Amino acid sequence: MLQTRFPQLFYFLLVALIPALIPVSDFSVYADIREARYWLETEFSETTLEPEQQLREMEWFITAAKPYRNMTVRVVSERIDAHFYEANTLAKAFEDITGIKVIHEVTGEDDVIKKLQAQIDLNFSIYDAYINDSDLIGTHFRSNNVVPISEFIAGDGAEVTLPTLDLEDFIGLRFTTAPDGKIYQLPDQQFANLYWYRHDWFSRPELKQQFQARYGYELNVPKNWSAYEDIAEFFSVYVKEIDGQRVYGHMDYGNADPSLGWRFSDAWLSMAGVGDPGIPNGLPVDEWGIRIEGCRPVGASVARGGALNSPAAIYATRKFVDWLHKYAPPEAQRMNFTQAGAVPGRGNIAQQIFWYTAFTAAMTDPALPVNDADGTPKWRMAPSPHGAYWQQGMKLGYQDVGAWTFLKSTPVNRRKAAWLYAQFVVSKTVSLRKTLVGLAPIRLSDIESEYFTDIAHKYGGLVEFYRSPARNYWTPTGSNVPDYPGLSNLWWQNIGAAVDGSKSAEQVMNQLAVRMDQEMGRLQFQMKGPCRPALNPVQSEDYWYQQPGAPKAKLVNENPKGVTQSYPQSLERWR
């Protein structure tokens, strides 16, 4: 098509004709369209829309933004590539095109949550919008502090809602929809937690031979934790050096700060097999070990029917601590999420069981030793191996869905201006380009585009993951968690003691389960509504172990034989 082959010519012809269509008095609109044309030509040429469709979207933004021109909107998000692109590039484009200035702050995820909580607690508007993980969906729908976007679109926000927003195109919408059927948040970026490994090392014949001789099966993508552990030991203890460099078979982080909590609450227990089968989070016991009845959380401890201190959860914690101490670089114990993220790219890590694809863009730098000079990765990402308690039909990984969230304490005109910006950064005009920069896709139309086909070879399995049904099975924290900001703190505050060795995994998980129950007991009386917690009475643990499903009794053998599979076979698991 001519538009495809000569997009710039089409932009020029279309925009050249636009002045004739605009009233002579409204020169500001024409100026804005000139700005839009500039941005479309220079930044947003990679798109699933035709150029004239892009221009029509921009015209709509210009018109809808008129009442809010010269307003300054302040929003906040976590510190990942997709949000840096928004803060540094898209905020500028939006201001040039609409006249609404946006200050898009980027900070740690924990800080985003603290600020959101402060605004709720103090009923004081700090930000006009938050890009807040959908992990808080259970909090939002119970709290009555968040404006559900489905209600906003139908009400106050109707005249500022983009006609081409196309909600059905968002792959993460199910994660931002609560049990009450309302959509609370609009997805802005998504990334998953997958297994990462050095495909080039795993393909070396001499290493394959050594592994086979020692462990009795092929060095390949691990299917279970036993194989992961064998591979970790193989590289850290026996191989030790590759091409003159000290190498490790495992990477993780253990510093006692909030990010240690995410290492667990982001599906680690479900990977071990702690909860029950059932997508998205396990039913009736989820990946936090919380049992749900109807929509009411009834307990986290085994004594109340939960699984947070069950043998499976203790196993998950013990494996995390053991591997960190035995097989990861020594400095990993003092690292946090951000610091650890860059380590595999340095070229001395063989595999990482818990790797956030938010780091993919940074991992593709051709200057890194993990890539060839042309940028082709020597690494791959694959489905995460599962623990001994895991069963078919259970959640096997985590997906982060950063989503636009609007609090009721924000004045409605400011909310409308922020909603315009939110829609701009996820609009079809912009979203493909943002996805190519940040590699955190949100729209099915982007994922299925030819652009994605063309780049698939550069990203070691990311495109394959997002084109498969697995994108629905790697899920965020679900609606069972009634107060994410409050309860998520308990994870890192307790797990740290297992990392530094001051307490055993069993002691830590028992303590964590008690604290989680205590907090939910408090919420039972503080919260309102039909979905507030209602703790089960304490019963003997044996009673619960005799019931079907989670909590599960201790397995006789928590270390079954390791199983591996080829990379193509592993991708089949996503299909």
Partner 1 sequence: MISRSRLCELICRWVWLIVIIRIGPVNGAEVVTDSVYTLYTQSLPPYSMMVQESSADSKSADSKFSVSAGSLSQNKRTGNSASAEQTARSLTRASGLAVDIVEQLFSRSGLSSRVEILPWSRAYRMAANDRQGCLFPVQRTQEREAQFQWISPLIITETGFFTRADFPASIRTLDDVRDLRIASYRGNAIADYLTGFGYDVDISNDEFVNLKRLQIKRVDVWAADTLTAAFFIRKSSGTDVHNQLTFFTTLRGLACNTAIPVEVIKELRLQLKTMYADGTIELIRDKYR
Residues that bind partner 1 (CB under 8 A): 74, 76, 87-89, 91-92, 95, 103-111, 114-115, 118, 121-122, 124, 126-127, 255-259, 336, 492-493, 496
DSSP assigned state of 334: G
Minimum Å gap between C-beta 44 and partner 1 is: 17
Minimum Å gap between C-beta 332 and partner 1 is: 16
Token pair of 302, please?
Answer: 């085994």
Residue number with CB closer to partner 1 (96 or 464):
96
Question: In whole angstroms, what is the distance from residue 490 CA to residue 264 CA?
Answer: 11
Residue number with CB closer to partner 1 (111 or 541):
111
Residue number with CB closer to partner 1 (302 or 499):
499
Are 402 and 438 spatial neighbours (Cβ–Cβ below 8 Å)? no
- Residues contacting 56, CB < 8 A, separation 6+: 164
Minimum Å gap between C-beta 330 and partner 1 is: 20
Question: In whole angstroms, what is the distance from residue 296 CA to residue 127 CA?
Answer: 31
Minimum Å gap between C-beta 72 and partner 1 is: 9
Minimum Å gap between C-beta 85 and partner 1 is: 10
Minimum Å gap between C-beta 184 and partner 1 is: 23
Beta bridge partner(s), residue 73: 102
Question: In whole angstroms, what is the distance from residue 285 CA to residue 413 CA?
Answer: 42
Q: At how many degrees (to 10) do helices 428-438 and 412-426 cross? A: 70
Question: In whole angstroms, what is the distance from residue 477 CA to residue 527 CA?
Answer: 20
Question: In whole angstroms, what is the distance from residue 529 CA to residue 534 CA?
Answer: 11
Residue number with CB closer to partner 1 (122 or 167):
122
Residue number with CB closer to partner 1 (116 or 162):
116
Residue number with CB closer to partner 1 (493 or 524):
493
Minimum Å gap between C-beta 113 and partner 1 is: 10
Question: In whole angstroms, what is the distance from residue 13 CA to residue 133 CA?
Answer: 42
Q: What is the DSSP string of 380-408?
A: EEEPPPB-TT--TTS--B-EEEEEEE-BT
Which among 301, 303, 269, 302 has a CA at the least distance from the CA of 286? Answer: 269
Minimum Å gap between C-beta 342 and partner 1 is: 12
Minimum Å gap between C-beta 384 and partner 1 is: 25
Residue number with CB closer to partner 1 (257 or 506):
257
Residue number with CB closer to partner 1 (44 or 130):
130
Within 13 Å, how many C-alpha atoms sit on residue 445's CB side?
Answer: 19
Question: In whole angstroms, what is the distance from residue 530 CA to residue 489 CA?
Answer: 25
Q: How far is CA 281 from the centre of its chain?
A: 15
Residue number with CB closer to partner 1 (29 or 103):
103
Residue number with CB closer to partner 1 (87 or 350):
87
Count how many residues are written for the chain: 575
Are 98 and 61 spatial neighbours (Cβ–Cβ below 8 Å)? yes
Question: In whole angstroms, what is the distance from residue 405 CA to residue 115 CA?
Answer: 13
Token pair of 309, please?
Answer: 């201190």
Minimum Å gap between C-beta 393 and partner 1 is: 35
Neighbour tally for 546: CB within 10 Å: 9
